[in-house]
């Protein structure tokens, strides 16, 4: 029977996505997980329970995009881009619409990937984008007044991530 290779010869697992974790960010997210209280009341969301089922990494993505909103709000610059001004609406539409949640997560991961140049983070964005596109396809197949706003939100969020046109 062959002996296992020495640990130094073992292939290294690639690092996870670079989500710009800081001790403060980690503490805020850990508190959010522990208490269930969304750490951005300034967004004025009507629905926040949908975030409680997210993984820690996905909460980091929501946290990242919410932090951008908060920072721009404090600077009086919410109207500097269309997405920042509409973010609370998009986040509220994630309630009961997993494909909108996936579009938000992809949007945040795309932003982080551009900032960090991390291949793993870009792959995380692709992953969430694929889930969002599949869910959007199903929702369009069942188009109604009830899902028209979520369909529009996901379509807008996904179009803002397109880089091939």
Per-residue pLDDT of the chain (165 residues; tens, 9 = 90+): 455 455 455 444 456 888 888 999 999 999 999 999 999 999 999 999 999 999 999 999 999 999 999 999 999 998 888 888 899 999 999 999 999 999 999 999 999 999 999 999 999 999 999 999 999 999 999 999 999 999 999 999 999 887 655
Q: What is the C-alpha to C-alpha distance for residues 124 and 147, in angstroms, rounded to an integer?
A: 26
Query: Could you tell me which of 76, 9, 6, 3 has the C-alpha nearest to residue 42?
Result: 76
Burial of 85 (0-12, 13-18, 19+ CB in 10 A): middle
- The whole-number pLDDT of residue 83 equals 82
Question: What CA–CA distance (Å, rounded) separates 7 from 142?
Answer: 53
Predicted pLDDT at 6: 54
User: pTM to 2 decimals?
Assistant: 0.88
Rounded to the nearest 10 degrees, how much is the dihedral formed by the CA atoms of 123, 128, 129, 135? 150
Per-residue pLDDT at 161: 86
Q: Which residue has the tokens 């509409």?
A: 86
Q: Name the residue with tokens 């949640």.
A: 101
């Amino acid at each position: 029977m062959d002996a296992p290779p020495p640990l130094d010869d073992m292939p290294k697992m690639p690092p996870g996505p670079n989500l710009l974790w800081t001790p403060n960010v980690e503490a805020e997210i850990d508190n959010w997980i522990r208490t269930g209280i969304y750490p951005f009341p300034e967004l004025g969301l009507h629905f926040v329970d949908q975030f409680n089922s997210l993984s820690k990494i996905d909460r980091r993505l929501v946290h990242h995009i919410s932090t951008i909103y908060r920072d721009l709000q404090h600077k009086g610059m919410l109207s500097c881009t269309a997405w920042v001004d509409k973010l609370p609406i998009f986040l509220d539409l994630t309630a009961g619409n997993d494909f909108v949640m996936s579009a938000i997560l992809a949007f945040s991961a795309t932003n982080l990937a551009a900032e960090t140049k991390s291949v793993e983070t870009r792959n995380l964005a692709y992953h969430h984008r694929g889930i969002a596109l599949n869910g959007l396809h199903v929702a369009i197949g069942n188009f109604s007044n009830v899902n028209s706003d979520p369909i529009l939100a996901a379509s807008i969020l996904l179009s803002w991530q397109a880089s091939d046109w």
